[in-house]
Amino acid sequence: MPVTIRPATLADIAAITEIYAESVLNGVASYELESPTGAEMRARMDAISGGGFPISRLSMPAICWAMPMPVRSAPARPIAGLSRISVYIAPQARGRGVGKLLLQGLVDRCEASGFRQMVAVIGGASPASIALHGSCGFADAGRLVGTGFKHGRWLDTVFMQRPLGEGKSSDPTPLSL
């Protein structure tokens, strides 16, 4: 089956919720301890997509999803220029390259829309996530040690960053989503 990336829709909320719930319950990428409901995931999706941030999903059932989200709004940090990325992959799809397809597709879409920087906040300092982001041009931007405690152990958080388009070489412009 060919793999294509498409914008996520309301019809995807159940699959997105299921993928994220598995990560919350069994993984360390998210520091949440309880899985959000479908209604909560819809509210999060509405808040992000309503702000002009694209959410993407592979067209195969329940494979993975990714979304950029605002980092924080302040006059010196224009939302139009900076986004934080999240990628979640269903267990049966891990290690097959679909995360890279999805992440690179979202990077390309954000870059074409006028974003200037993308930041990955990698909970649990996951080697697989660090490798995924590195393969898509993200570079190490730091580590916070012992910032989470889940599944009986302390977890580090790794930051990675990728410039988009002109990066910081010119003034930011409004998004063209």
| Residue 29: partners with Cβ closer than 8 Å, 6 or more residues away | 23, 88, 122, 123, 124, 126, 129
Residue 142 belongs to a domain: yes
Q: Is residue 176 part of a domain?
A: no
- Greater pLDDT, 51 or 106: 106
Residue 117's nearest CA partner among 66, 169, 165, 82 is: 82
Q: Residue count of the chain, please give it.
A: 177
Q: Give me the pLDDT at residue 76, please.
A: 46
Whether the model clears a pTM of 0.85, i.e. scores above it, the answer is no
Q: What is the pLDDT of residues 42-74, one digit of tens each?
A: 888 877 766 555 566 655 554 565 555 555 444
Decide if 92 is inside a domain. Answer: yes
Q: How many structural domains compose the chain?
A: 1
Beta strands 82-89 and 117-123: pairing type? parallel
Over the chain, what is the mean pLDDT?
Answer: 79
- Does residue 78 sit within a domain? yes
**170 part of a folded domain:** no
How far is Cα of residue 160 from the mean position of the Cα atoms in its chain? 12
Closest among 46, 69, 168 to 119, alpha carbons compared = 69
- Mean pLDDT over 11-25 rounds to 88
Confirm whether 103 is domain-assigned.
yes
36 in a domain, yes or no? Answer: yes
Range of the structural domain that residue 136 is part of: 5-163
**Under DSSP, is residue 154 helix (H, G, I), strand (E, B) or coil?**
strand
Residue 88 lies in a domain: yes
